[in-house]
Structure 1
Amino acid sequence: MERPPSAPPSSSHARQRMDWNLLRTFLFVVQERGVGRAAAVLHLSQPAVSQALRRLEESVGGQLLVRRHGEFRLTPLGEDVYAIACEVYGTVARIDAVAAGHQDEVAGPLRLLVMSRIHSLPYDEFLADFHRRHPRIEFQVEVMPSSAILDALAKRQPGLGICLCRKPVEGLNRRLFMRQRYVVVCGRHHPLFSRGQVSLHALQDQDFVRFASDQIGDTLSPLTIFRDQRGFTGRIVGTSSNIEEIRRMVIAGMGLSWLPEHMIVRDIEAQLLRRLPPDEGVAEIDVFFVWNAQRKLTAPEAAFRSAFEAFLRRTPLASRAF
């Protein structure tokens, strides 16, 4: 009897050696657009990430990335492997959800202290999935300034936090949730809104609307440092700890300000705001998931922390701020 044709040795060899960790590393390198940044997110050394890329290329039998002289692009093979890696990631996420569904049911209140305007579709999907798995957990979400969240958690008040945390706080654990790039903007009533080309020099004497925490030593102090280093001389005409009120004052034309880039996409499309130089933005500010390491967590808190940390491990940093 004639035997069916077998798969080519190279394909069989690739299947036997294929490792999800290699695909996952490749996924992070592509989404972080570099080995160095991927290594930082994965808490690995750059040589370890580079070695994983080489092993994956050996497994699939071809080059996946072109990285030279500042160039970073996927090869045609790399495009196909990246698409497959995204599909595998989705499957792994579903496995996590199925496994969690067999855990004991948890019930009770869960207090979340969050800063305003957390824009993250992956986080929204995480919350939906968490609620499906734990329908008897009652969410109590309070929007507060980051400084107030850190103060409450440091005092061992019940709850978990999502906020800015520029430097470690004694007694608190933190995990990097998302990275927000702040950019300079003006509103539709501002004189610069309708000007053709705007240089960075044109911003130096403009008035500003600032966050209450935009001070040296506070959570948004990189914005202060940028303004001082660039020699901006305009007045501070408005201050608020609420990002919605900052946005409102900017749209009203009171002055320029800095806002997270991913939050203002629709405002720019609607011609409510205009993005101004510099093109690379002003600063990257990190948002953290925070809890008190010295206070015993309740069952709902422990379930949320465990699930959220799993979400952070499987979701590349670059894809969280959307």
Structure 2
Amino acid sequence: MARPDRLVWDLDWNLLRTFVVIAEEKSITRAAERLSLKQPSVSNALKRLEQHLGRRLVERDANRFALTEVGRLVYDESIDMFGTVSRLPVAMRDVREEVTGHVDISVASHVVSPIFDEALARFHADHPRATLNISVSQSVEVAKLVRGRRASFGICLVSQRDAALEYTLMYREFFAFFCGPTHRLFGTAGLNLKDLAGETSVSFQTDTVSDALWPVALLRREAQLEANVIGVSSSLEEVRRMITAGLGIGPLPLHVARRDVEENLLWRLPPYEAPPAIDIFLITNPKKVLNRAERALLTLLTELILKTPLEERTYKI
């Protein structure tokens, strides 16, 4: 007799599968046909199983084929075992694999994206135990964090691409000039770009001809705004604060400022047509080893971006 503990570890479980077919077909030949094997292979499998168990399982000769009492027992137990295995896919179907882990996301301050919001909502619904940290930085710092693998991924403007990083266009937005309620131009309609000449201004730190907001910098130069910028910030909220406080004219994304315009907190200034377009990118580092939470969120976000046509990821003017 084989020792029970040795049997568990030494037995080739495929031998049991072959034996089940032999018992059901009551023939080595028919079992071989059903298994698409050669007859000697099936016969050898039966012999090896009997050797492992130390008992004879089948009584057979030219005219007779029958399971021994031990053979019937092994068959019954094997059927139960394979039945349990066959139920595994059904049993696992409703069991959600729990994903834990932490995701560090670095974003520019003016990232407003329904796609990003949907990805976060779905990710949390699917993996409620995973945690997130979203930090706000200048776009150049976002890229540095991703490059140094200190952020899971980044979302920001891009001035120059780094060959070590990968870029996916997430959405396109448009910038315009605005002023606050105390500004002399607030509420004035029918203005043109030359009416802004000499006005003081505030802006983002990236509003230079060599940085991510270069189209805005060129437009500011074309409008001949006062050369010295009164106030700068990397934060959209702080740029908005300076505009509404009356420090000067400043650029904001149209879709972000729309509600403030409707509530008379901001007034849109020219140009009214063809405002500067700015692209926002999802930045990833292919060399970063992602944990399961990072991989799940990044996969979800990327899929949402790629399945949404660019027109639907472009904010209306």
TM-score interval w.r.t. the shorter chain? 0.5 to 0.7
CA deviation map 1:258-297 (0-9, x unaligned):
1000001110011010111111253111111111122222
Q: Does 1:213 find its partner at 2:206? A: yes
Task: Give the 3-state SS of the residue equivalent to 1:210 in structure 2.
Answer: strand
RMSD: 2.2
Q: Cα gap change, 1:227/1:298 in structure 2, threshold over 3 Å: closer, same or farther?
A: same
Q: Cα gap change, 1:236/1:275 in structure 2, threshold over 3 Å: closer, same or farther?
A: same
State the distance in 1 between where 2:313 and 2:273 align.
Answer: 19
State the distance in 2 between where 1:102 and 1:279 align.
Answer: 54
| TM-score between both structures, scaled by the size of structure 2 | 0.65
Task: Give the 3-state SS of the residue equivalent to 1:264 in structure 2.
Answer: helix
Q: Shift of the alpha carbon at 1:230?
A: 4.2
- From 176, 190, 195, the equivalent of 2:188 is 195
State the distance in 2 between where 1:174 and 1:102 align.
Answer: 35
Consecutive unaligned residues of structure 1, counting only runs of 5 or more, are 1-99
**Within-5 A mapping of 1:42-191:** 104-191=97-184
Aligned amino acid, residue 161 of structure 1: G
State the distance in 1 between where 2:283 and 2:95 align.
Answer: 27
**Within-5 A mapping of 1:159-308:** 159-308=152-301
The structure with the larger Rg is 2
CA deviation map 1:38-60 (0-9, x unaligned):
xxxxxxxxxxxxxxxxxxxxxxx
- From 303, 317, 322, the equivalent of 2:310 is 317
| TM-score between both structures, scaled by the size of structure 1 | 0.64
State the distance in 2 between where 1:262 and 1:168 align.
Answer: 26
Task: Give the 3-state SS of the residue equivalent to 2:230 in structure 1.
Answer: strand
Q: Shift of the alpha carbon at 1:156?
A: 2.4
Task: Give the 3-state SS of the residue equivalent to 2:132 in structure 1.
Answer: strand
Q: Shift of the alpha carbon at 1:174?
A: 1.3
How many residue pairs are counted as aligned between the two chains?
Answer: 223
Q: Shift of the alpha carbon at 1:101?
A: 9.1
Q: Cα gap change, 1:158/1:261 in structure 2, threshold over 3 Å: closer, same or farther?
A: closer
Q: Which residue of 1 aligns with 2:6?
A: none
State the distance in 2 between where 1:168 and 1:215 align.
Answer: 17
Higher mean C-alpha displacement, 183-192 vs 161-170: 161-170
Q: Cα gap change, 1:157/1:196 in structure 2, threshold over 3 Å: closer, same or farther?
A: closer
- Do 1:112 and 1:139's aligned partners in 2 also have CA atoms closer than 8 Å? yes
- Do 2:104 and 2:132's aligned partners in 1 also have CA atoms closer than 8 Å? yes
Consecutive unaligned residues of structure 2, counting only runs of 5 or more, are 1-92
Q: Shift of the alpha carbon at 1:194?
A: 3.0
Task: Give the 3-state SS of the residue equivalent to 2:190 in structure 1.
Answer: coil
